[in-house]
Amino acid sequence: MNPITRRRFLKITGTSLGAAAAAKTLSVLPGTAHALEKAAAPSGVQVIPTFCDVCFWKCGALAYVRDGKLWKVEGNPEDPLSRGRLCPRGTGGIGAHYDPDRLTSPLLRRSSRGKEEWVEVTWDEALDYIAERMQAIKAKYGPESVALFTHGIGGNFLRHAVRAYGSPNIAAPSFAQCRGPRDVGFRLTFGEDVGSPERTDIANARCIVLIGSHLGENMHNTQVQEFSEAMAAGASLIVVDPRLSVAAGKAKWYLPIKPGTDMALLLAWMNVLLRENLYDREYVAAHGFGFEQFAAGIVDFTPEWAYPETGIPPEVIRETAREMARYRPATLVHPGRHVTWYGDDAQRSRAIALLNALLGSWGRKGGFYYPQSMDVPAYPYPPYPKSEKGKVDNPNNKYPFADETLTTGIREATISGKPYPVKGWLVYATNLIHALPNEAETICALQELDLLAVVDVIPSEIAGWADVVLPESIYLERYDDLNVEWFRQPFIALRQPVVNSPHNQKPNWWIARKLADKLGLGEYFPWKDIEEYLQYRLDKAGYSFDELKRKGIIRGEKQPIYFDEGVPAEFATPSGKIEFYSLQLAQAGFDPVPQYARPAEPPPGYFRLLYGRAPVHSFSRTQSNRLLMDMLPENDVWVNADVAARRGLKSGDYVRLKNQDGVLSNRIRVKATQRIRPDCVYMVHGFGHTAKGLRFARDKGASDAQLLTRYQTDPLMGGTGMNVNFVTFELEA
Amino acid sequence: MARFAMVIDTRQCVGCMDCVVACKTENGVPEGFNRDWIVQDVNGIYPTLHMEIRSERCNHCDNPPCVYCCPTGASHVHDLGGVVLVHHEKCIGCKACLAACPYDARFVHPEGYADKCTFCIHRVEKGLQPSCVAVCPTYCMYFGDLDDPLSEVSLLLTSRKYHLLLPETGTQPHIYYLT
């Protein structure tokens, strides 16, 4: 294992610290004048720049306050991510501020866990409760026995507090339940991962290949904007999906693949590129390692072999491979984002990386660029205490390529008490009941805890199980840490309060600092408030806090992002090259060249359960935002129209889904449609809430997470493949 | 004179509903109502399908049945750009216009008047674009003056194929869908 850190990557690419520090602030950019003009707009209206938090893309925004009340949020034209336009969730962000169901006061549990019966307490009482239990756990088991689950930049200060307390067990579901396999697969191949925002040069791609990735429904703003731009410029689009996604509806080639067989298609595509000599031979010769063994490893995977596996005819596989070759290196085989599907996901992602390598797209315009960043030093805190026991999530390095902490590993350790007990969970902004597969296992783990504290803005399901619930200010009401972004063009973004919190909510930095005080860790929070912290970091970096408050964004100079522009073609793999054949994998006992394994078939009468995103919701976080719920108040289960007709189901009928283990979902509306294969069903993730406090969202639609009782663990990195559940219909009486 | 129109590129629209949300915040449209909406038209048998995604709203017709049928004169054509508007204070909420509109573009606001898309005339008069156009992350929507042969909307309609909604009703609608 030789994971490259961002810092090291910075050095490798020659963007030395000095050079980055010298990156100058650009003067007024096109768009700024527009923003300022808007800012000067109607009287009684104030415009305050900040960045969004409805998803984790961090788009720059301008929040409008009219007569002291939050009015609307628009994109900040100076921000390279939003480019002046937010996605529907960002536009609907004000709904989070006005949400009548949001948490208003710290809460202490007053009956058994999960009953959601509370007493309102003061912040001091709530934090004293947490601190006392954390100290008791530390005394009895050691600090490692407290874990933090966190998602997003808002968790930075709590993360810091937990590191200061002495625990290395800090995990986000974004690794083992989302992008982890992709980043591992790419790192094994190119020595670097894809990151977020993804380093995909969609705007300049002339051929785009989407495999299960439903851009446009999955609404990561910049990607969708660039996708639209590429479509307008006439890019060729190939979409592989069991469902005619929105993107598939725009494709030149739509490949209605049998679920779970993507690896077969990828191998066959690479086989065609080799056999027909269509790959980038110069690029492979210059940068490739182990190409001969790789070529020998995929020689049998012909389109004819792939046909019965995937259902995609050989001539279509050949034609689409030729299409990709026609536009290389500006052919982008998109690596996806939520890729925890079948448990072989890191190897499938590696196959995607290898296909891109054959097309020569890594480091090239229209493929994958090299993101740049500005140098803003971290705040100089005292060193964290060293953990003697190490992390709990991956004993004996069972998953040798897991280079981030595994949520599900912590969960397993909590249940088994091995390699050591975990007795406290702190949870920030991630609804673990919906985010992790197999809810029963999560609840089983919760029973082992001496402390479960949840920081959230809404009374989510995980908050419902907590001993203490801490109500956080929403993003439009608080400062957060700086976003020093890695992107095409480097920039720094500020999140700052636009309006006050309506009740007794507090920002995460305040919560973390106060908790640290109570734990006797005050030396780790030497600043008096976050403005002092931000001021310090910006001063050290040579940027103006006042300017950032005024503009929301400070952009650095554009730097080379492609090999052609001078980025050195260096790869942080053991061989220093693109690893077509991976010795690391071979040594760890895995396939050094990706291989295919046929997925299990659904039992008779059952359908594979697939799930995805809607453009107006983020995970299970937004279903109490009335503005967004007005757009999509419940999810549907997509059923192939012919299947529906045979089963006597019509669009609008309510059914319950029963999975292979007998778990029955909440009722959900049928969408009988031609847009999906007959062997699977599909639903949008995040619905079917059960928490009492979510008065509006509760019982609307069904939760896919509840039906994911099975998952297939990725042997390379511990990701949980979740497209391995099957459901059938139970009619509503 | 000016004749305002909207041109929407269905090849770029992803149906994300940002236009709907933006309209609601800009215009304070109450919960449960919206002035614009998304339609996904699907034809064919899996997997050979054709799908068109459209952002729809009032067509600001040249021949507006909602204006003709209004008993109080509340529904009217604005002086600027042929935009169809409603004087809230003159409207008695009789719903004749709701019945007359072939596009189902109107609803009765909880305060009792017929409500619909205004082409964000309050913004347009200040030189801004309608909020749905200004917010669209796919840049699939265009707003402008058809009387100006060099406007973006005029040029798009001379260079691209398009269709209108229910032209057979004779309303002469002014939302153009590029295909």
Please spell the DSSP secondary structure of A294-319, one letter per residue.
HHHHTTT--HHHHHHHH---HHHHHH
% of chain B at pLDDT higher than 90: 99
Per-residue pLDDT of B91-124, as tens digits, reads 999 999 999 999 999 999 999 999 999 999 999 9
In contact, A152 and A472? CB cutoff 8 Å: no
Cα gap A26→B52, rounded to integer Å: 42
With 90 as the cut, is the pLDDT of residue A31 above it? no
Structure tokens at A661: 């283990």
% of chain A at pLDDT higher than 90: 94
The pLDDT, as a whole number, for residue A224 is 98
Strands (E), A173-280: 207-211, 236-240, 253-255
Which helix or strand (DSSP H or E) is residue A548 part of?
helix A545-551
Give the model's confidence band at A110: pLDDT under 50 very low, under 70 low, under 90 confident, else very high: very high
Residues on chain A touching B21 (C-beta within 8 angstroms): 88, 91-92, 616, 627-628, 631
| Mean pLDDT, residues A721-733 | 93
| Mean pLDDT, residues A356-361 | 98
Q: Which of A215, A231, A615 is closest, CB to CB, to B17?
A: A615
Residue A152 per-residue DSSP state = S
The pLDDT, as a whole number, for residue A43 is 72
The pLDDT, as a whole number, for residue A629 is 97
Per-residue pLDDT of A129-179, as tens digits, reads 999 999 999 999 999 999 999 999 999 999 999 999 999 999 999 999 999
> Residue B135: closest CA among chain A residues belongs to which residue?
A85
> Residue B47: closest CA among chain A residues belongs to which residue?
A256
| Mean pLDDT, residues A97-102 | 98
Omega before residue A256 within 30° of 0, cis: no
Residue A153 per-residue DSSP state = G
> Residue A678: closest CA among chain B residues belongs to which residue?
B46
Structure tokens at B102: 């072939």
Give the contacts of A151 (CB within 8 A, at least 6 positions apart). Answer: A56, A172, A173, A174, A428, A429, A430
Give the model's confidence band at A32: pLDDT under 50 very low, under 70 low, under 90 confident, else very high: very low
Give the model's confidence band at A375: pLDDT under 50 very low, under 70 low, under 90 confident, else very high: very high
Q: Hey, is B144 helix, strand or coil?
A: strand
In contact, A633 and A666? CB cutoff 8 Å: no
Interchain proximity B25–A674, CB inside 8 Å? no
Minimal C-alpha gap between A470 and chain B (Å): 29
Report the C-alpha dihedral over residues A187, A265, A721, A198, rounded to 10 degrees. 40
Place of tokens 């009619």: A731
Omega before residue A497 within 30° of 0, cis: no
- Cα-atom radius of gyration of chain B, to the nearest Å? 16
With 50 as the cut, is the pLDDT of residue B76 above it? yes
Give the model's confidence band at A37: pLDDT under 50 very low, under 70 low, under 90 confident, else very high: very low
B167: left (phi over 0), alpha (psi -120 to 50) or beta: alpha
Interchain proximity A228–B44, CB inside 8 Å? no
CA atoms within 13 A of residue A165's CA, in its CB half-sphere: 36
With 60 as the cut, is the pLDDT of residue A4 above it? no
| Mean pLDDT, residues A188-193 | 98
In contact, B8 and B55? CB cutoff 8 Å: yes
Calculate the average pLDDT of chain A.
Answer: 94
Cα gap B64→B61, rounded to integer Å: 5
Distances (CA, A) of A218 to A13, A91, A261, A574, B107: 31, 16, 22, 35, 31
Amino acid of residue A656? R
Residue ranges covered by each domain of chain A: 179-370+575-587, 607-731
Residue A29 per-residue DSSP state = P
The pLDDT, as a whole number, for residue A3 is 37
The pLDDT, as a whole number, for residue A609 is 98
CB pairs under 8 A between A and B: 123
Interchain proximity B25–A675, CB inside 8 Å? no
Place of tokens 């899996």: B46
Distances (CA, A) of A649 to A297, A475, A655: 46, 43, 9
Task: Determine the CATH number of domain A607-731.
Answer: 2.40.40.20
Residue A111 per-residue DSSP state = S
The interface residues of chain B toward chain A in range 21-80, judged by CB-CB distance below 8 A, are 21-22, 24-26, 31-32, 34, 42, 44-47, 49-51, 53
- B20 interface with A at CB cutoff 8 Å: yes
Per-residue pLDDT of A638-665, as tens digits, reads 999 999 999 999 999 999 999 999 999 9
- B2 interface with A at CB cutoff 8 Å: no
Which helix or strand (DSSP H or E) is residue A359 part of?
helix A345-359
ipTM of the complex: 0.97
Interchain proximity B15–A246, CB inside 8 Å? yes
In contact, A332 and A230? CB cutoff 8 Å: no
The pLDDT, as a whole number, for residue A313 is 98
Per-residue pLDDT of B26-47, as tens digits, reads 999 999 999 999 999 999 999 9
Residues on chain B touching A232 (C-beta within 8 angstroms): 9, 11-12, 139
With 60 as the cut, is the pLDDT of residue A268 above it? yes
| Mean pLDDT, residues A681-709 | 98
Give the model's confidence band at A519: pLDDT under 50 very low, under 70 low, under 90 confident, else very high: very high
Residues on chain B touching A626 (C-beta within 8 angstroms): 31
**Chain centre distance of CA A495:** 20
Distances (CA, A) of A54 to A196, A617, A624: 15, 8, 12
Which of A518, A516, A541 has its CA nearest to residue A526? A516
Q: Are strands A107-109 and A468-471 parallel, antiparallel or unpaired?
A: antiparallel
Interchain proximity A224–B47, CB inside 8 Å? no
% of chain A at pLDDT higher than 70: 94
Interchain proximity B26–A72, CB inside 8 Å? yes
Structure tokens at A70: 């939050």
Cα gap B112→B94, rounded to integer Å: 9
Interchain proximity A246–B136, CB inside 8 Å? no
Structure tokens at A249: 């509806």
The pLDDT, as a whole number, for residue A6 is 39
In contact, A208 and A236? CB cutoff 8 Å: yes
Which of A356, A397, A341, A399 has its CA nearest to residue A178? A341
Interchain proximity B21–A628, CB inside 8 Å? yes
A179-370+575-587 and A607-731 agree in CATH topology:
no
Residues on chain B touching A88 (C-beta within 8 angstroms): 16-18, 20-21
Amino acid of residue A307? Y
Interchain proximity A616–B42, CB inside 8 Å? no
Interchain proximity B16–A616, CB inside 8 Å? yes
Which of B135, B136, B139, B141 is most worth mutating to test chain A (most A CB atoms within 10 A of its CB)?
Answer: B135
Interchain proximity A225–B139, CB inside 8 Å? yes
In contact, A77 and B135? CB cutoff 8 Å: no
Cα gap A538→A374, rounded to integer Å: 11
**Chain centre distance of CA A138:** 31
Residues on chain B touching A254 (C-beta within 8 angstroms): 47, 49
Architecture of the domain whose range is B4-178: 2-Layer Sandwich (3.30)
The pLDDT, as a whole number, for residue B47 is 97
Residues on chain A touching B139 (C-beta within 8 angstroms): 85, 225, 228-229, 232
Interchain proximity A616–B34, CB inside 8 Å? no
Place of tokens 């057979």: B168
With 70 as the cut, is the pLDDT of residue A615 above it? yes
DSSP assignment of A424-481 equals EEEEES--HHHHSS-HHHHHHHHTT-SEEEEEESS--HHHHT-SEEEEBPPGGG----
Residues on chain A touching B15 (C-beta within 8 angstroms): 216, 246, 615
| Mean pLDDT, residues A687-716 | 98
Say if residue A433 is exposed, middle or buried (CB neighbours under 10 Å; 0-12, 13-18, 19+): buried
Residue ranges covered by each domain of chain B: 4-178
CATH class of A179-370+575-587: alpha beta
Kindly report the number of other CB atoms within 10 A of residue A283's CB atom. Answer: 22
Cα gap B154→B145, rounded to integer Å: 7
The pLDDT, as a whole number, for residue A21 is 36
CA atoms within 13 A of residue A427's CA, in its CB half-sphere: 33
The pLDDT, as a whole number, for residue A42 is 63
Structure tokens at A560: 């080379």
Mean pLDDT is lowest, of A30-39, A294-303, B57-66, B165-174, for A30-39
Q: Which of B9, B16, B134 is closest, CB to CB, to A615?
A: B16
> Residue A94: closest CA among chain B residues belongs to which residue?
B25
Q: Which of A231, A616, A630 is closest, CB to CB, to B11?
A: A231
Minimal C-alpha gap between B177 and chain A (Å): 15
- Axis-axis angle for helices A508-518, A156-165 (nearest 10): 10
Interchain proximity B22–A231, CB inside 8 Å? no
Say if residue A392 is exposed, middle or buried (CB neighbours under 10 Å; 0-12, 13-18, 19+): buried
Residues on chain A touching B9 (C-beta within 8 angstroms): 232
Interchain proximity A246–B42, CB inside 8 Å? no
Give the model's confidence band at B1: pLDDT under 50 very low, under 70 low, under 90 confident, else very high: confident
The pLDDT, as a whole number, for residue A30 is 36
With 60 as the cut, is the pLDDT of residue A7 above it? no
Give the model's confidence band at A404: pLDDT under 50 very low, under 70 low, under 90 confident, else very high: very high
Cα gap A312→A303, rounded to integer Å: 9
Which of B14, B29, B131, B132 is most worth mutating to test chain A (most A CB atoms within 10 A of its CB)?
Answer: B14
Say if residue A390 is exposed, middle or buried (CB neighbours under 10 Å; 0-12, 13-18, 19+): middle
